[in-house]
A and B are shown apart, each in its own frame.
Chain A
Amino acid sequence: MRRLLGRRRTEPTERAGERPASGRGLRLAFVVPRYGADVVGGAETLVRGLAEHLAASGSAVDVLTTCAQDHLSWKNVLPAGASREAGVTVRRFPVRLRDTRRHAWLQLRILHGSRLRPKEEARWAEESVGSAELFDHLARRGMEYDLVCFAPYLFGTTLCGVPLVPGRAVLIPCLHDEPFAHLGLVRDTFQACRGFIFNSPPEAALAEKLYGIGDRPAGVVGLGFDPLPPADPAALRRRHGLEGPLLFYLGRKETGKNVPLLIEYALRYRAGRRSDLTLVLAGDGPVTASPGTPGVRDLGYLDAAAKAAAYAAATVVCQPSVNESFSIVLMESWLAGTPVLVHARCPVTTHHVFRAGGGLAFDDFYEFAEALDLLLEDAERRRRLGSQGRAYVETMYSWPAVTARLQETLERLVA
């Protein structure tokens, strides 16, 4: 892999072929490990939103992806071949047979801070997810596209795909500071890209710090949002027997998202301050409080309608994760007019919260408790923070605003 990168890498400033001056009418490809209306995931949702809105504004958009639908088994579920989905041409290629044991073992070593040899890093990337047919398509026809946008940085489709389209690769990294971000292979991939589309200014700053973006074109775009579907929060409370103030967590329930910390803080808060507070967890994932723990409820996975009702039923939504590159949860929570509580050590969520004035941040349990006190004791304050958040989303992350930023970034990328 290292040799492959070394041979294929080209200068980022290299220009290839004639390109239209405007972002409209571009021929674009997005490369993403999974794609489809039923695919759950932040980067996947982002790419689908961007691709569909670009297609609607007149660009020819191809999505190159695998036949997989879930990111654990990577089974080939969807049919291979081209299809047209919401104006976007989707080309699916079968996932290559993976050595999952080897991949899990290397991944574990990365997470535990072991330093991998370049050969091992390449092996880890190859075994994450890849498709010989997809890479072949990129190698043979990659030059037909004006730009090839890869997302997110962490998967084989990106790490092995970027070197195949020298001079045209654009990365939508969805980056946050984690052990994978420090791999040599990842650094090489960032080096090989023509430009970047970031989700937030703190993400761009992190990429600059880790890899040195320099004067390569980059833009902060993010994801766009439509208004939430109408919801019946009272029905949700009734259905699940929820009473009193509700502190909601929505998202994957895993240690990496800091969910154990949130459970611990919420239980401490109940023990010392307000025993009527209920922490409500919603989403998939391995972490939860032991069943029957007083003050914690786990609703499991919620569909779109139930999720909208959950945002509206929540008194406060907490996003304790420090590993976010955008945080869809914050935006959706604000669209429902609900204030948020975020971890002060996450540059991205705190950036949004203080830009929006849509909530508060905590750095330890004591700040968590005081912030929650401030929010729970004053309904008017909650309402105003929530509506400030909503105004922020409507101004910054409505689809027209996002599409305009994206067009402008693409124009700079092809210039």
Chain B
Amino acid sequence: MTDRAMEGTIDAARLMEEIKERVRERRVSGFYSEDEVRRITQMEIELAESAPTFQDELEEHLEQLNDGWDTAAEPVIASHRAGVGAVIVAAKKLLRRVTRPYITLILARQVEFNSALLHLLNAFVLPVRDGMASLTRRLEDLSLDLQERLTVEHGERQRRDREVAERLGVLTARLEDLRAEVERLRRPVPGAQLAPSPVVPPDLGALPAAAYVRFEDRHRGTREEIRQRQQAYLDLFAGLGPVLDVGCGRGEFLELCREAGIEARGIDVDPAMVARCREASLAAEQADAIAYLEAEPDGGLGGIFCAQVIEHIPPEALVALVRLAHRKLRPGGMLLCETPNPACLTVFSGAFYVDLSHIKPIHPEAARFVLESAGFHDVEIRYVNPVPPDGKLQRLEPFWYMRRYEEVFLSQINDNFERLNQLLWGAQDYAVVGRRP
């Protein structure tokens, strides 16, 4: 250690001695084996250098030809010797003058030939050389442009990925909050005082019936759409007539049954709906479901179809409806209730709350519980009416030039997208189906 080193400074010269010593030691100790030396010296290193050697060579040769084509040109006659030099020069000039006519005679054809050949060469070589140079430049420009564009795109993509990841984080956190909120709201509040409902005169608070038909036309879907959706249930009711359609609405399912040769009739609380059914010659009457079912003979029905109804009635009425259905179906008969699916969160931003007459969403497991406790067997949940794929978060596809870690990152983003899609944009409706043993 030198004094400088002890003061906290480093002596670069001293370090260099250390380096030279290390190299010596390593050489002596065989650290740089023959093999290593061979390997590193043979390692292929590709350097890209714009070396215009071919063009230079062309130019060099061409210049020599252009300088020397005129073989008949007068040579410079000179001498470096003092005194005698002048005599020598004079003698040489005389000789030159005497021989000039003969030499010129011979050389003239050569000069002519050289000149023609050189003209041809110049005409060919110069454009080729310039063309090559401009092509090389163009190629360089293009490759630089490409490199620059790729770098910019790569940066842009990384920035977008980061943004997506950040937004996903925010969304996930909000989703968790939402889930916790839903859970909290689902829990009954022990001992809580319910706010007294305001007393509303029945006529004032009732929704106008004709208006509801228009409403349903607009928000539920057209007749054709509903027919298409309910077509899926038709096979289940084959051979199960007579079928009662509770809340038959515009009568789409009754129509399907008629076409399939299944005996069916419908009831609805809404006189306007019933009137529409009758116009289509469908068996429908205005009635309250509970009262109507109570009046039915026990075991007289083969099937009960009840689409988009149970979310309109309070829980006690649902329990009563299911129990009555069980009693009125014959053994082997089937009850099917279709309702919005609360496990698909988008339902709450649209379908469910768009309808003022909806009272309470029914969770699929709650529906199953109600049916099973009423004595139905083989209770199953069928998820229907999925959100179309273009309404969901789209998968991000990897690019060919992505790195491995970027692909892993992308697949994590896609997994998260999948979970969000499940939760937010799953099946919008479900049907709970149970059979009387």
Contacts and interface: CB of A to CB of B under 8 A. Distances in A.
A263 B47 CA distance: 8
A374 B18 contact: yes
21 contacts: A101-B59, A105-B59, A264-B45, A267-B45, A268-B40, A268-B43, A271-B40, A271-B43, A272-B36, A272-B39, A286-B50, A287-B48, A288-B47, A354-B13, A357-B9, A357-B10, A362-B19, A366-B23, A367-B19, A371-B16, A381-B10
Nearest to B40: A268
Interface stretch (A25-33, A42-50, A179-187, A289-297): A289-297
Contacts of B45: 263-264, 267, 289
A101 B52 CA distance: 13
B47 A272 contact: no
B9 A289 contact: no
Interface string A165-196: 00000000000000000000000000000000
Interface string B46-88: 1111100000100110010000000000000000000000000
Nearest to A264: B45
B153 interface: no
Nearest to A381: B10
Interface size of B as a range = 35 or more
Interface of B: 4, 8-13, 15-16, 18-20, 22-23, 26-27, 32, 36, 39-40, 43, 45-50, 56, 59-60, 63, 143-144, 147-148, 154-155
Contacts of A354: 12-13
Interface string A205-219: 000000000000000
A289 B12 contact: no
A241 B32 CA distance: 33
A108 B9 contact: no
Contact of A357 (B11, B22, B43, B59): B11
A357 B48 contact: no
Contacts of A272: 36, 39-40
A74 to B, nearest CB: 17
Which of B16, B27, B43, B56 has the largest number of chain A CB atoms within 10 A? B16
A384 B47 contact: no
Which of B11, B47, B147 has the largest number of chain A CB atoms within 10 A? B47
B15 A360 contact: yes
A263 B49 CA distance: 12
A358 interface: yes
Which of B9, B11, B32, B45 has the largest number of chain A CB atoms within 10 A? B45
Contacts of A357: 4, 9-12
A370 interface: yes
B7 to A, nearest CB: 11
A384 B16 contact: no
Given A239-B155, A287-B49, A289-B47, A366 B13 contact: no
A411 B49 CA distance: 46
A289 B20 contact: no
B296 to A, nearest CB: 74
- Ranked nearest first, the 6 interchain pairs of A and B with the lowest CB-CB distance are A286-B50, A290-B46, A370-B19, A357-B12, A268-B40, A366-B23
Contact of B43 (A267, A286, A287): A267
Contacts of B39: 271-272
A384 B11 CA distance: 10
A356 B13 CA distance: 10
B239 to A, nearest CB: 68
Contacts of B155: 239
A370 B13 contact: no
Interface string A346-378: 000000011011111110011100110010000
Nearest to A101: B59
Interface string A17-58: 000000000000000000000000000000000000000000
Nearest to A361: B16
B19 A374 contact: yes
A359 B15 CA distance: 9
Contacts of A241: 154
B19 A260 contact: no
Contact of A108 (B40, B56, B154): B56
A385 interface: yes
Nearest to A344: B16
Contact of B12 (A105, A108, A260, A358): A358
A370 B12 contact: no
Nearest to B14: A357
Contacts of A13: none
Contacts of A300: 144, 148
Interface string A264-281: 100110011000000000
Given A272-B40, A290-B47, A388-B9, A360 B59 contact: no
Given A263-B47, A289-B46, A291-B143, 13 more contacts: A108-B56, A239-B155, A241-B154, A260-B49, A264-B45, A268-B40, A289-B48, A290-B47, A360-B19, A362-B19, A374-B18, A374-B19, A385-B10
Contacts of A105: 59-60, 63
Contacts of A286: 49-50
B309 to A, nearest CB: 59
A384 B19 contact: no
A367 B15 CA distance: 11
B16 A360 contact: yes
A293 B49 CA distance: 15
A290 B48 contact: yes
B12 A384 contact: no
A354 B10 CA distance: 11
A286 B47 CA distance: 10
Contacts of B56: 108
Contacts of B20: 367
Contacts of A356: 12
A366 B48 contact: no
Nearest to B13: A354
A142 B140 CA distance: 44
A384 B27 CA distance: 29
Contacts of A362: 19
B49 A385 contact: no
Nearest to B36: A272
Given A239-B155, A374-B18, A374-B19, A353 B12 contact: yes
A90 B321 CA distance: 100
Contacts of B11: 357
A239 B155 CA distance: 7
A395 interface: no
Given A267-B45, A287-B47, A371 B13 contact: no
A35 B160 CA distance: 43
A242 B427 CA distance: 46
A370 B23 contact: yes
